[in-house]
Amino acid sequence: MRVIAGEAKGRALKAVPGMNTRPTTDKVKEAIFSMIGPYFDGGWALDLFAGTGGLGIEALSRGMDKAVFVDMDRASVSVVRANVAAAGMAARAEIYTNEAGRAVKALQKRGQRFSAVFLDPPYRLTHMDELIADLQERELLADDAVVVVEHDASHAYPERIGAWRQGKRAEYGETAVTVYRRGEDGNTEAADGQER
């Protein structure tokens, strides 16, 4: 695993030991950022279920001002700290050990709004639509925010979650990526770019 583009391009990232964490492959990460970026002009990113921190670090490398990383697994949080430091991003990162739902409640108290949110939970968790609705209700999403959900390709998320609409959905083997933006018309594309 590595940082694909931007100021930290080429920096190697550590994986979380054991089999409990499934890091986003470089191929899928590249596809995600070609769908939503590929580069950013500031803003805050939120990497819930951070794992290795690869998605949040990539967002920082590509121009986000700051990123908040959250994972409930202490081993993952330790790896995120190491990877953020290796990428030279420590001053722009906040890293917390917490459960995603509780972290969202804590973040609401700060009044912070996020321009990019990455949700890459264990594939057995299929309630990211509820989490996106919660982020909206707590006013944690900027008006132009993009929300990325990485999930098992066998699962389909709804076209619309509150004010956010599914912009793209692409499949890469057993992995699917669903992208939501505010009020965007749904345009579902297969991995090869063909509309379905």
Checking phi first, is residue 8 left (phi over 0); if not, alpha (psi -120 to 50) or beta? alpha
pTM of the model: 0.91
Tokens of 41: 């002009």
Checking phi first, is residue 142 left (phi over 0); if not, alpha (psi -120 to 50) or beta? beta
pLDDT in tens, 156-171: 999 999 999 999 999 9
- Coil/strand/helix, residue 3: coil
pLDDT at 53 over 90: yes
- Break the chain into its structural domains and give their ranges: 26-182
**Whole-angstrom distance, CA of residue 12 vs CA of residue 15:** 10
Lowest mean pLDDT among 52-61, 129-138, 144-153, 183-192: 183-192
Q: What is the mean pLDDT of the chain?
A: 90
Mean pLDDT confidence for 30-45:
94
Q: Quick one: which of 76, 82, 71 has its CA closest to 17?
A: 76
Please give the pLDDT value at position 19.
62
139 contacts: CB under 8 Å, gap ≥ 6? 108, 113
Q: Which residues pair with 147 in a beta bridge?
A: 117, 180
pLDDT at 55 over 60: yes
Please give the pLDDT value at position 65.
97
pLDDT in tens, 77-116: 999 999 999 999 999 999 999 999 999 999 999 988 999 9
Confidence category of residue 76, pLDDT binned at 50, 70, 90: very high
Per CATH, the homologous superfamily of domain 26-182 is: Vaccinia Virus protein VP39 (3.40.50.150)
Q: Looking at the chain, which runs of residues are DSSP E strands?
A: 44-48, 66-71, 93-97, 114-119, 141-152, 160-161, 164-172, 175-182
pLDDT at 188 over 70: no
Please give the pLDDT value at position 25.
85
